[in-house]
């Protein structure tokens, strides 16, 4: 799956909504903002490509696909409400396009789940979170690129402070019984993610 209009339109139509090409353009522009290094079109494309591989695991695939488009739609490292604002945007856009309220509510909840602050309530939330965190189980070269990209996004933060806080975040993922809750993605990514996380925490320490 790519960032093209074909899959975008299909997802909206699957929810009984009218797809907006201008919204597609606006979202791509958001993911191309200059302050983004990781939370970019590259990340969005990687998420959508992985979702295409595991779409059969989704209960409501179109909702996950649209949630992926919106999950980092608003990204400002100076704020702490990016997911809330992105979720609100997704819900409003779906309702304006004619989607049912319950579908818009579920997409809103999916985007909010990417705060990674609570255990997922539904299987589709778990699948979405695992896709969002798939970068932790990427090949070492891509994982190293990811870590460098995160540092670029937080370049304003002094290195010592960044290393301390980043190390704590990664150690938190490492401390989980499982990084991935979806068995298929866990079998594929868990061991690699733990090796990547262990190496990164050691380097930051």
Please report the pLDDT score of residue 118 as a whole number: 82
Q: What is the pLDDT of residues 37-53, one digit of tens each?
A: 999 999 999 999 999 99
Average pLDDT, the chain: 96
Q: What is the pTM of this model?
A: 0.96
Tens-place pLDDT, residues 89-123: 999 999 999 999 999 999 999 999 999 888 888 99
- What average pLDDT does range 175-204 have in this prediction? 97
151 pLDDT more than 90: yes
Nearest to 45, CA basis, from 96, 75, 2, 94: 2
pLDDT given for residue 121 in this prediction: 83
pLDDT higher than threshold 90 for residue 35 = yes
- Residue 192 scores a pLDDT above 70: yes
| pLDDT over 60 at 1, yes or no | no
As given in the structure block, the two tokens for residue 8 are 């975008």
DSSP for residue 117:
-
Q: Which helix (H) or strand (E) holds 202?
A: helix 183-204
φ/ψ (deg, to 5) at 78: -85, -5
d(CA 70, CA 108): 9
**pLDDT of the residue at 160:** 97
């Amino acid at each position: 799956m790519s960032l093209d209009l074909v899959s975008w339109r299909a997802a909206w139509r699957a929810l009984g909504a009218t797809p907006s090409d201008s919204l597609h353009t606006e979202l791509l522009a958001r993911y191309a903002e200059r302050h983004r290094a990781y939370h970019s079109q590259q990340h969005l494309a990687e998420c959508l490509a992985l979702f295409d591989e595991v779409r059969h695991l989704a209960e409501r695939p179109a909702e996950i696909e649209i949630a992926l488009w919106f999950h980092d739609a608003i990204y400002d490292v100076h704020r702490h409400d990016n997911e809330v604002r992105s979720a609100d945007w997704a819900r409003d856009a779906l309702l304006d396009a004619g989607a049912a309220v319950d579908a818009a509510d579920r997409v809103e909840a999916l985007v909010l789940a990417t705060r990674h602050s609570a255990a997922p309530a539904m299987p589709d939330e778990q699948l979405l979170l695992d896709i969002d965190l798939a970068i932790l189980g990427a090949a070492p070269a891509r994982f190293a690129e990811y870590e460098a990209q995160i540092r670029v996004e937080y370049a304003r933060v002094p290195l010592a402070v960044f290393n301390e806080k980043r190390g704590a975040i990664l150690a938190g993922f490492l401390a989980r019984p499982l990084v991935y809750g979806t068995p298929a993605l866990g079998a594929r990514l868990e061991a690699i993610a733990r090796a990547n996380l262990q190496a990164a925490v050691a380097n930051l320490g």
